[in-house]
Amino acid sequence: MKGGGGGKEVPVEGEVSGKQRPKRKCLQWHPLLSKKKALDFSEEEEEEDEEELEKVPVECPERSGQAPECVAMDDDGEEDSSEQRARRPMNAFLLFCKRHRSLVRQEHPRLDNRGATKILADWWAVLEPSEKQKYTDMAKEYKDAFMKANPGYKWCPATSKPVKSPTHAVSNVRKKAWSLPSNNTKDITVAKKVPKTDSTPQLNFAMADPTKMGGLSMLLLAGEHALTAREISSSSSQSGVADVAKHTGKSALFQLAEISSCPPELVQGCKNSECRSAAAPQTEVCGLSQPNSPDLPSSCMRSPLFQLAEISSSGSQASVSEVKQCGQSALFQLAEMCLASEAEKLEALSSQPAMDSSSLCAQDTAPDTSPTMDLPTPSPPSSSPISCKKKKKPNDVAKGEKSSGSPKKPCKKRSSSGSDLESLMYTIEAVAKGAWGSEEMETTRKRARPSGSPADQRSTAEKKKTKPKAKKQLRTKEEEEEKAEGEDCKPLETEGSLLSHEAELKTECKKEEDIKLDSVEESEPHLSTAEQNKGVDPGSPLPIKGEERDLEVKPVVIQTEEKDIEPKPEACGSRKSERSCKGALYKTLVSEGMLTSLRANVDRGKRGSMRGTVSESEIGWTDESCNFSQPAASNPKKLKKSKSKDEPVPGNLGKLEEEFEKKFNSLPQYSPLTFDKKSTAVTKRKKASVVNPLENPTPNKGPSPSQKKTLFHKIVSKYKHKKEKAGTLDKAVAQPDPTASDTGTVKSDSSCVSLSTETRKMGDVPVGSQKRKARKSKITHLVRTADGRLSPAEADKVKELTQDQDGKPLTHETLCNTQSCSTDPGSAESGSLPAFFSLAALAEVAAMENMHRGQRAVSMAAEGQVKDMAPQTPVLISCADQ
DNA sequence: TCGAATGAAAA
DNA sequence: TTTTCATTCGA
């Protein structure tokens, strides 16, 4: 340990830091440090955050924190003492690994890091020079920045430490590595704040804890909202809720939700009290994270919107048990209020019976629950944040996959509850209007500004004002959902409407726009798919629903929470009559639930849980795939943001990191498919199998499904043409092309072909240092014959894969069930598109399992043939599964 | 704590 | 030329 202390200089606070821990030894260097740009965000928020952080005694860094210079200082200090050393900057490969590991893990949940690393190495090897160049440049830039920050930095600290002892230290440091970010953050924050608080840095440091980081990052990423909320809750007094609303543009409701959810609130409210135990103020994040732990990872992946939702939900989750005590009340109340007001308006309209919702919940729950599991973990909070992090993750994973832990339910509900309310509101209105389509949009907008509505009268009026933004967000979701419903009739329109919604949202929400958009985008596909899968019901019921709902609306909301836990067959039964029309509520809930699950899965990035839920997988991939397929690819921003999720980066840094992340994110993230295509490596195949399904969904975002099909054909045709030229196209890198999905696919295809040749070369050619090369030879998974046959070694792997697939079936089943419920054989088309993606994936899997040729199937899929197959195959599969 | 990869820097 | 170490996180 360090002691840094001594060395450190840290003054008083240092003492605190003194406790600190060894972490400091290696501070990670963060590019931001050098830059230290302050975030755009209000500093205040940051400060508060810091303050909160501060509470935690952190490390010494404080000093470093004070000024950017400090960074250098730290570095120096580091030199002085091993303690402070900055971490060496990551090289291109590491950056690549960092960026893609999650993907690999997603694809191969079972795969451990080693395996993942191997795969990554393979990918890296396959990666074209131009592509690599990006990472190389990034690494260089990173290094340069690092060096600037730490002029005297020596790669090998002091005398090479004897491997072990130093190593240990290092290892420790590594884990703490995050601390570095924290430092950076501090620095950054410091730069901003420097003058203000010395202590702040310390806090940041605390944040540094991986655990916190995750949580914070999540929160931060989610948006300043959380921060804002904190401020508010914290009573910083600086900004009132209204102010916050202004800043964030959030709706009051939203804010409330956040607050309720937010630890800060808990903290304040309960701060000293038990709540804290659940989530300490500093730990708040942890607290959140704990419950959300699964989320954390996901958060990375998620879009801001999701994060927000999570936050709200998480808050509730975190406290789940506690929440009841502390948190939820406010949110729920608000929701109720809103509902009531709207209900009044809509009275005529109607609401669905709780029953339906419950039933839906139950369905959703299954999938969702797994991810949501957070609750169980909560206990851990007491433990240090770090512990929380790791522990939780595992838990999450475990839970995610199977679990059905009771606690989960609450989470879901909560998350859904908040949004549900809004969604319900919208839905109701929409129903009343009777038009889900474009009109809905308008409706939602109107709602957004509830002022007009009678409800305004209520105390909620204020809230409403603020709400609009939040509502908008929700709306988007709702709209999507609604659309989804409507999709039954008009699938295509949905997208269009979404787009329009987005546009609207943008106008209204300045700050959050991006985030929302992202979220929206993400959500859209999910929702649509989910809804479709579920099989939405007949549109007819809608009107009816409205009527019934009126009365029950409130109850529904409340019930929702309670019901979450319990499926409540009763409700289903009673309302079931309406069953034909699953209420919009259900959908909403489901959709939300889906989202939640997705989030968790996504976050996890790893685990097979994703596979379990199609939607989840879709989402996860979506993000990634987006890069490829989406035209959006051109817009790094969105992608980046979404990607930001990927990076678990520290919450504190949030802002700073964001910038850095942007850069980092800007780095192309290649889909497994790409690699697969490029390299036929078996491993990749596996991924591809998974990926394909996932990717398919992605496209959804962009073009409508129908369009996709068309595109597909186009692509195919293009592909053929291009193949000839392929050589040039080899790169097949994803996103770079603005052209979007089509291009991506095409590229991949072309790349595949061309790559195959090159790939082989690559494979043959030694990639890295010769040393490594030797090791590489060891790598079996890569081995593959030109034909695609597996080498013996591969065979083993294949087996493994098969097994993996075996595991997947459950997922499929679940999907199938869902679909079956929702989809009627005939309904197909609307559902088919979304469903089919997932199905396609399933089909692939099935193929894999059944076929020794699985490989081929995969390759096929990769090429895009799958798409053709997908529609049909899925059905078959579904049947089989069932 | 190891390991699996690659790369950069130091020894 | 060889070592370290950077990231990641399951065994």
Q: Are A597 and A616 in contact (CB under 8 A)?
A: yes
The answer on pLDDT for A94 being more than 70 is yes
The answer on pLDDT for A15 being more than 80 is no
The C-alpha atoms of residue A391 and residue A379 are separated, in whole angstroms, by 11
Q: What is the pLDDT of residue A154?
A: 72
The answer on pLDDT for A582 being more than 60 is no
* A282-306: average pLDDT: 33
Exposed/middle/buried for residue A761 (C-beta within 10 Å: 0-12, 13-18, 19+)? exposed
Q: How does residue A530 score in pLDDT terms, banded at 50, 70 and 90? A: very low
Coil, helix or strand at residue A578:
helix
The answer on pLDDT for A152 being more than 50 is yes
Structure tokens at A225: 């909202």
Q: Are A666 and A142 in contact (CB under 8 A)?
A: no
Q: How does residue A147 score in pLDDT terms, banded at 50, 70 and 90? A: confident
The answer on pLDDT for A865 being more than 50 is no
Q: Are A781 and A793 in contact (CB under 8 A)?
A: yes
Nearest nucleotide relative to A766: CA against C1':
B6
* A209-213: average pLDDT: 31
Q: How does residue A678 score in pLDDT terms, banded at 50, 70 and 90? A: low
Q: What is the pLDDT of residue A660?
A: 63
> At a CB cut-off of 8 Å and minimum separation 6, what does A215 contact?
A284, A285, A286, A287, A288, A289, A290, A292, A296, A385, A389, A651
Burial A737-759 (b: 16+ CB within 10 A, else e): bebbbbbbbbbbbbbbbbbbebb
* A296-312: average pLDDT: 34
The answer on pLDDT for A148 being more than 70 is yes
Q: Which residue is nearest to nucleotide B4 (CA to C1')?
A: A114
What single-letter amino acid sits at A150?
N
Q: What is the pLDDT of residue A673?
A: 65
Coil, helix or strand at residue A163:
coil
Query: Residue A154 CB closer than 7 angstroms to strand B?
Result: yes
Q: Which of A82, A72, A116, A77 is nearest to A96 (CA)?
A: A116
The answer on pLDDT for A298 being more than 80 is no
The C-alpha atoms of residue A172 and residue A233 are separated, in whole angstroms, by 36
Query: Is the full-model pTM beyond 0.75?
Result: no
* A271-293: average pLDDT: 32
Q: What is the pLDDT of residue A85?
A: 55
The 3 state secondary structure assigned to A639-683 is HHHHHHCCCCCCCCCHHHHHHHHHHHHHCCCCCHHHHHHHCCCHH
* A738-767: average pLDDT: 34
Q: Are A733 and A747 in contact (CB under 8 A)?
A: yes
Q: How does residue A105 score in pLDDT terms, banded at 50, 70 and 90? A: confident
Q: What is the pLDDT of residue A254?
A: 32
Query: Residue A170 CB closer than 7 angstroms to strand B?
Result: no
The answer on pLDDT for A134 being more than 50 is yes
Q: What is the pLDDT of residue A92?
A: 85
* A527-550: average pLDDT: 34
Coil, helix or strand at residue A582:
coil
Q: What is the pLDDT of residue A493?
A: 34
The C-alpha atoms of residue A101 and residue A115 are separated, in whole angstroms, by 10
Answer with the residue of higher pLDDT: A480 or A14. Answer: A480
Q: What is the pLDDT of residues A568-577, one digit of tens each?
A: 333 333 333 3
| Element containing residue A712 per DSSP (H, E) | helix A705-729
Q: What is the pLDDT of residue A86?
A: 67
Q: Are A651 and A262 in contact (CB under 8 A)?
A: no
Cα–Cα distances (Å) from A574 to A189, A414, A538, A570, in that order, read 56, 24, 18, 6
Q: What is the pLDDT of residues A689-714, one digit of tens each?
A: 333 333 333 333 333 333 333 333 33
Query: Residue A162 CB closer than 7 angstroms to strand C?
Result: yes
Phi, psi values for residue A251, rounded to 5°: -85, 160
Q: Which of A510, A691, A711 is nearest to A630 (CA)?
A: A711
Coil, helix or strand at residue A130:
helix
CA A113 / C1′ B10 distance in Å: 27
The C-alpha atoms of residue A383 and residue A380 are separated, in whole angstroms, by 5
Q: Are A816 and A882 in contact (CB under 8 A)?
A: yes
Q: Please say whether the dihedral angle defined by the alpha carbons of residues A704, A705, A709 and A711, taken in this order, is positive or negative.
A: positive
Q: Which residue is nearest to nucleotide B6 (CA to C1')?
A: A93
* A84-110: average pLDDT: 79
Q: What is the pLDDT of residue A98?
A: 84
The answer on pLDDT for A132 being more than 50 is yes
CA A704 / C1′ C11 distance in Å: 44
Q: What is the pLDDT of residue A108?
A: 80
The answer on pLDDT for A151 being more than 50 is yes
Q: Which of A389, A372, A185, A399 is nearest to A283 (CA)?
A: A389
Nearest nucleotide relative to A158: CA against C1':
B10
Q: How does residue A153 score in pLDDT terms, banded at 50, 70 and 90? A: confident
The answer on pLDDT for A363 being more than 50 is no
The C-alpha atoms of residue A509 and residue A473 are separated, in whole angstroms, by 9
* A750-760: average pLDDT: 35
Share the mean pLDDT of chain A.
39
Query: Residue A354 CB closer than 7 angstroms to strand B?
Result: no
The C-alpha atoms of residue A244 and residue A810 are separated, in whole angstroms, by 45
* A41-51: average pLDDT: 30
CA A550 to chain centre: 34
Cα–Cα distances (Å) from A464 to A170, A265, A501, in that order, read 52, 20, 19
The answer on pLDDT for A118 being more than 60 is yes
Q: Are A302 and A603 in contact (CB under 8 A)?
A: yes
CA A814 to chain centre: 22
Q: Which residue is nearest to nucleotide B11 (CA to C1')?
A: A160
CA A770 / C1′ C2 distance in Å: 13
Query: Residue A145 CB closer than 7 angstroms to strand B?
Result: no
Residues comprising chain A, all counted: 882
CA A112 / C1′ C8 distance in Å: 9
Q: How does residue A836 score in pLDDT terms, banded at 50, 70 and 90? A: very low
Q: What is the pLDDT of residue A122?
A: 82
The C-alpha atoms of residue A608 and residue A621 are separated, in whole angstroms, by 13
Query: Residue A648 CB closer than 7 angstroms to strand C?
Result: yes
Based on its alpha-carbon atoms, the radius of gyration of chain A, rounded to whole angstroms, reads: 26
Structure tokens at A113: 């890091």
CA A79 / C1′ B10 distance in Å: 14
The answer on pLDDT for A121 being more than 80 is yes
The answer on pLDDT for A347 being more than 60 is no
Strand B bases with any atom < 7 A from protein Cβ: 1-11
Structure tokens at A867: 């798409």
Question: What is the longest distance spanned by two Cα atoms in chain A?
Answer: 79
User: Residues 768-797 of A near strand B (Cβ < 7 Å)?
Assistant: 768-769, 772-773, 775-776, 778-779
Query: Residue A144 CB closer than 7 angstroms to strand B?
Result: no
Beta-carbon neighbour count of residue A716 at 10 Å? 18
Q: Which residue is nearest to nucleotide C9 (CA to C1')?
A: A113
Strand C bases with any atom < 7 A from protein Cβ: 2-11
Beta-carbon neighbour count of residue A358 at 10 Å? 30
CA A28 / C1′ C6 distance in Å: 10
Q: Which residue is nearest to nucleotide C10 (CA to C1')?
A: A112
Structure tokens at A744: 């991506």
The answer on pLDDT for A90 being more than 80 is yes
Q: Are A256 and A334 in contact (CB under 8 A)?
A: yes
- For A605: left if phi > 0, alpha if psi spans -120 to 50, otherwise beta; the answer is left
Q: Which of A316, A307, A322 is nearest to A216 (CA)?
A: A307
Q: What is the pLDDT of residue A694?
A: 35
Q: How does residue A292 score in pLDDT terms, banded at 50, 70 and 90? A: very low
Query: Residue A112 CB closer than 7 angstroms to strand C?
Result: yes
Q: What is the pLDDT of residues A780-821, one digit of tens each?
A: 333 333 333 333 333 333 333 333 333 333 333 333 333 333
Q: Are A26 and A176 in contact (CB under 8 A)?
A: yes
Q: Which of A285, A277, A296 is nearest to A227 (CA)?
A: A285
The answer on pLDDT for A617 being more than 50 is no
Query: Residue A603 CB closer than 7 angstroms to strand C?
Result: no
- Calculated CA dihedral for residues A14, A17, A22, A23, nearest 10 degrees: -110
CA A522 / C1′ B8 distance in Å: 38
Q: What is the pLDDT of residues A428-459, one digit of tens each?
A: 344 344 433 333 333 333 333 333 333 333 33
Coil, helix or strand at residue A216:
helix
CA A418 / C1′ C6 distance in Å: 42
CA A86 / C1′ B11 distance in Å: 19
Instruction: Give me the percent of chain A exceeding a pLDDT of 70.
Output: 8
Query: Residue A155 CB closer than 7 angstroms to strand C?
Result: yes
Residue that is written with structure tokens 């409701």 in the block: A253
Query: Residue A93 CB closer than 7 angstroms to strand C?
Result: yes
Q: Which residue is nearest to nucleotide C11 (CA to C1')?
A: A112
Structure tokens at A804: 């993996």
Structure tokens at A269: 């409210």
The C-alpha atoms of residue A145 and residue A155 are separated, in whole angstroms, by 14
The C-alpha atoms of residue A662 and residue A651 are separated, in whole angstroms, by 15
Q: What is the pLDDT of residue A677?
A: 59
Q: Are A422 and A338 in contact (CB under 8 A)?
A: yes
CA A521 / C1′ C7 distance in Å: 30
Query: Residue A157 CB closer than 7 angstroms to strand C?
Result: yes
